[in-house]
Amino acid sequence: MFFALRFKSASDQDPKRLHVRSQRPRRQLACESLEGRLLLSAGREVSVMSYNLYHGTDVNPVVAAVVSGDLFGQIIPAVTAAWSQIRANDFHARAEAIAEQIEDAEPTLIGLQEADLFTTGPANGPGSPATNVEYDYVQILLDKLAARGLHYEPVVVAVNYAAEFPGVTHRGIVEDIRLTDREVILARTDLRTSELKLSNPQEGHFTTNLSFPTPFGPFELRRSWASVDAKVRGKTFRFVTTHLDADSPVVQVAQASELLAGPANTDLPVILVGDFNSPADGSGTSTYSAIVGAGFHDAWSATHPSDPGFTCCQQADLQNAASTLARRIDVVFTRGNFVADNIELLGETPADRTPNGLWPSDHAGIAAELELLPPGHEGRVQSMVAARNRADELTENVDSVLAWLHHTRAGRRLVAHGVRASA
């Protein structure tokens, strides 16, 4: 519904009143037109999600300690503190909150970043990898989904890096703690083959990565990507997820170039999701603009042009009362015959926190509803969707005015002095 704000004319009985009234447009919204409905009916609905699950701690103090080479004075204390925070940040509870969001959004494909595996073992150094599983973030999440009657399985698992250093564990002894960082694609398994058919699963490591010295030799903070081709009711596209370097702009931009020349270099329509560590407002690296320059469209910008849509980051302990999200670095990009119908943030409001007060992650997740259209129509439908979204924003703004008039002291005072507000 549209609303109109107007001053009544001098010929009206009460010229002082500011009138807020509802007004039904004579024509349907552009995206609700017959043309729009016909174009959308020729498309294929695709629902996707991207979620950085969060290691559970800020790893930078551990990296700094490792670079120092001081085993007893810095490395063991830093690893001990990180392990304590990982346990306090309770991934079992966080996974329950994320599973609830997945249940609500019902994505067909999910790209996960920081989908970690934590293992422990005797303090023998990385030459003898720790194998006792403490937390498998992917399996924990799958178990939470299964408990809700949801059917998902990993279709691609790309291992980024594995780091193993000693620290005091919850058992009160010094043990090696091993972090295996992964990119993972989950897919629904309860759909018929005609509704979803997957093929060509791929994963790859970037050749350009950040490295730093350790007492055990140079350590490469390797990053990866994962992809799969999906056919949805006869139309095929490629789904790609990644997590680019956060510490070196030069490394990150090089990884983005490899991504565009690698899995994104296809004639298929592409959905590219992930944590790109490049603010969408251009305040950071050139990665975001390079991806857009390669023909990709940002689904959030297309559907929420005036909303910053911040996705990063909550505090390391996830206990901040008010959200501290202040950058948008998690993005759903599309290229080809896609139009973004709707996209929402997940886990970004206080109501999304766990019963023990933790944010589900230090990042907000993203759920996008897309339409894969016949070639040549995506621009027209996208303009229709943009028109609808502008109308929705107008409605929200007027709703805010009405709420202010009715529910604030200043608003009620204004009404009492001759302002009439109605919807």
Would you call 368 helix, strand, or coil by DSSP?
Answer: strand
Residue 260 tokens, joined: 């565009």
Q: Which residues contact 385 (CB under 8 A, 6 or more apart)?
A: 31, 302, 303, 339, 340, 341
Phi-psi region of 362 (alpha: psi -120 to 50; beta: other; left: phi over 0): alpha
* pLDDT band, very low/low/confident/very high, at 400 (cuts 50, 70, 90): low
CA of 360: how far to CAs of 12, 70, 173, 278, in Å? Answer: 55, 34, 29, 22
- The pLDDT tens digits of the residues spanning 288-326 come to 999 999 999 999 999 999 999 999 999 999 999 999 999
Q: What is the pLDDT of residues 86-130, one digit of tens each?
A: 999 999 999 999 999 999 999 999 999 999 999 999 999 878 999
Q: How far is Cα 101 from Cα 309, in angstroms, rounded to an integer? A: 17
Tokens read off for 387 = 């028109």
3-state secondary structure of 2: strand
Residue 384 has what pLDDT? 53
Mean pLDDT for the chain overall: 86
Q: What's the pTM?
A: 0.83
Q: Which two tokens stand for residue 356?
A: 């023990």
The CA distance from 152 to 107, in Å, is 10
Q: Are 345 and 366 in contact (CB under 8 A)?
A: yes
pLDDT at site 413: 60
| SS3 call for 155 | strand
Residue 314 phi, psi dihedral angles, 5° rounding:
-80, 170
Domains of the chain, earliest start first: 2-37+388-421 (no CATH), 43-372 (3.60.10.10)
| Strand ordering across the sheet containing 270-275 | 197-205, 224-232, 235-243, 270-275, 330-335, 297-298
Q: Cβ–Cβ contacts within 10 Å for residue 356, how many? A: 11
Stretch 195-207: mean pLDDT, rounded?
Answer: 98
Cβ-contact 337, 8 below 8 angstroms: no
How far is the C-alpha of 274 from the C-alpha of 62, rounded, in Å?
A: 24
- Tell me which residue of 353, 183, 319, 338 sits closest to 255, measured CA to CA: 183
How many angstroms from the chain centroid is the CA of residue 333?
Answer: 11
In the predicted model, is pLDDT for residue 35 greater than 50?
A: no
Mean pLDDT of 134-152: 98
Overall residue count recorded for the chain in this entry: 423
DSSP 8-state assignment for residue 327:
B
DSSP 216: T
With pLDDT > 90 as the criterion, what percentage of the chain qualifies? 76
Other Cβ atoms within 10 Å of 272 Cβ, number: 26
Rounded-to-integer distance, Cα 98 and Cα 105, Å: 11
pLDDT in tens, 71-87: 999 999 999 999 999 99
Judge whether residue 166 has pLDDT over 60: yes
Alpha-carbon distance values, 401 to 15, 59, 387 (Å): 20, 45, 21
Contacts 24+ apart (CB under 8 A), 27-34: 29/384, 29/387, 29/388, 29/391, 30/383, 30/384, 30/387, 30/388, 31/381, 31/384, 31/385, 31/387, 31/388, 32/388, 33/384
Question: What is residue 381's three-state secondary structure?
Answer: helix
Percentage above 70 pLDDT, the chain: 78
